[in-house]
Amino acid sequence: MKGWSVADSLVRGYIRHYIDLGWSGNKIWNTLPILGLPKFHRQSFQAVVRMETARKSWQEDFLGLDPFLPTSNQYMFEKDLVQPYRYQVIGRKTLINPATGQTIQTNVTLYDDYNLGLEGWKDDWMNKFGKYWGDRGFELAGFDLQEVWHNKGAPW
């Protein structure tokens, strides 16, 4: 699954969304053409469904970990990361536009070589990007960590 194309990423996003809604892999597979999305090879599709189903089942436990301790390996998935780092940390940032009061949430991906733990990664991200967004007229209100991936073959 290394080197996802844009179409693969789009389909993977739909798979994740429908897994979170409780749909089965077969139901999602049969829906892809109706949505106008390209089909995967069946075997690759099933691998993504298994991965996303497992992600959903452990995410609640993952978010309940002690945020000040390094994250346990059992709460990370392994994959071949495109970037040459040990960890890929995925979350959502919340920005506030002080002029309008509008709140904006977007997905964020960061890479790191150190297992900082949930709170450590959050603090690191907030410290690195708070000034960046402040200089652009936004207040960085938060970063919610959602999952961590480990680069397959890299040391823990």
pLDDT at 34: 84
What pLDDT, on the 0 to 100 scale, is given for residue 69? 78
pLDDT of residue 60: 67
Write down the pLDDT at residue 6: 63
Tell me the one-letter amino acid at 150. H
What are 31-75's pLDDT values in tens digits? 888 888 776 778 888 888 988 887 777 776 777 777 777 888 777
- Residue 1: the pLDDT is 44
| Under-70 pLDDT residues of the chain | 1-7, 39, 60
What pLDDT is attached to residue 39?
Answer: 66
- This prediction has a pTM of 0.64
pLDDT value of residue 99: 92
How many Cβ atoms from other residues are within 10 Å of residue 136's Cβ? 9
- Residue 34 CA, chain-centre distance (Å), reads 26
Q: What is the pLDDT of residue 114?
A: 93
- Residue 91 to residues 45, 49, 74, 116, Cα–Cα distance (Å): 24, 20, 19, 15
Q: Is 100 exposed, middle or buried (0-12, 13-18, 19+ CB in 10 A)?
A: exposed
Which of 144, 145, 137 lies closest to 101, judged by CA?
Answer: 137
